[in-house]
Structure 1
Amino acid sequence: MVWNPLLNNTDYFNSVYSAPPPNITFPNPTFFGVTSTFEDPLTIGPSNDSLQIGTAHGFYFFDSLRDFTLFHIFTANITEGDYLGTLDVFGQVREIDPIRYLTVIGGTGDFMLARGLATCTLIELYRGPPGAARWTLFFDLDLYY
């Protein structure tokens, strides 16, 4: 990925993309096999200045030859507020869907053994030059624990 100073947001969001797998010799318009590892803040609101309550750590990879679909695996580590612990989130989403659904598959601390649904809404998407983008997501959780 090419670093773009117009999209530099490393004080808040960090992502590292891999190159496509070397054995792909056919056109790859959906970035099949490309992986991104990330560490992003969890905040109360969409602004960088919003109260940070934790950090999300994980990765996703493009997993379709035909569509822009992403398979996500990440842990939300909540370190501030009334409830503390981690939530593990897992699932496949289509990049273009404004509302995405992921599964909560576990948790620790106050979220011990949590299960449920993470409804993810795209709040903002900015696409820069090829290989550069930034987005803001809102998560609404329905948990059973």
Structure 2
Amino acid sequence: MTYKQHCHTIGAQHEVDEWIQKLHHAKEKVSRLHFYFHDTLSGKNPSAVEVAEASMTKKSPTLFGLLNIFDDPLTEGPEPTSMLVGRAQGLYGSAGQQELGLLAAMNFVFTIRKFNGSSVTILGRNAVFQPLREMPIISGTGAFRLARGFVTAKTYFLNFTSGDAIVEYHVVAIHY
């Protein structure tokens, strides 16, 4: 570690220590966010890729045992050209044998405005063919330290052939 990196680490730790000291006086906030998640499995530059599958996955109607890693853009509107507000990074695996249900573990990492550099972490079941799904927020970073809450997901677009999807997300995050 260089001297500069060491000083940056100490400075960051000092900022965290100050935040913790003020925590017992802090008031909880509720932040509501809305954006679109673009999961692209097709084309030359997919944002989601298959990394593993079980021997029986291709025979399963739910693709049971399939695991994908993703780094998907989050945009203000449903159009891919809409303003980028962050990235969704994580993994999802087909965990349902009877119904397509994904186990999703992901971070929404924000890149604009007051939440730039902050993230919320989601871990839960995403029953993709349900009209509206709910998953819990289990934590966060930056402005979302100690976050809890939930997200709702609603499919805006799905191409059954390619697997490409655009999903509308509403976030309700309780944090300090």
- What is the TM-score of this pair, normalised by structure 1? 0.84
For 1:78, the equivalent position in structure 2 comes to: 110
Q: Which residue in 2 is equivalent to 1:68?
A: 100
Question: Normalized per residue, which structure has more strand?
Answer: 1
Gap runs ≥5 in structure 1: 1-6
* Alignment partners' CA distance in 1, 2:48 and 2:58: 26
Structure 2 gaps of 5+ residues are 1-41
Q: 1:30 aligns with which of 50, 53, 62?
A: 62
1:120 aligns with 2:116: no
Structure 1 position 26, deviation (Å): 10
CA distance in 2, matches of 1:88, 1:134: 22
Structure with the largest fraction of helix: 2
Q: Which has the higher contact order (CA 8 A, sep 6+)?
A: 2
Shift of 1:20: 2.5
Identity of aligned residues (%): 26
Structure 2 counterpart of 1:8? 43
**TM-score, normalised with respect to structure 2:** 0.70
CA distance in 2, matches of 1:27, 1:14: 25
- Higher Cα Rg, which structure: 2
Structure 2 distance, partners of 1:121, 1:25, is 25
Number of paired residues? 133
Moved segments of 4+, more than 6 Å = none
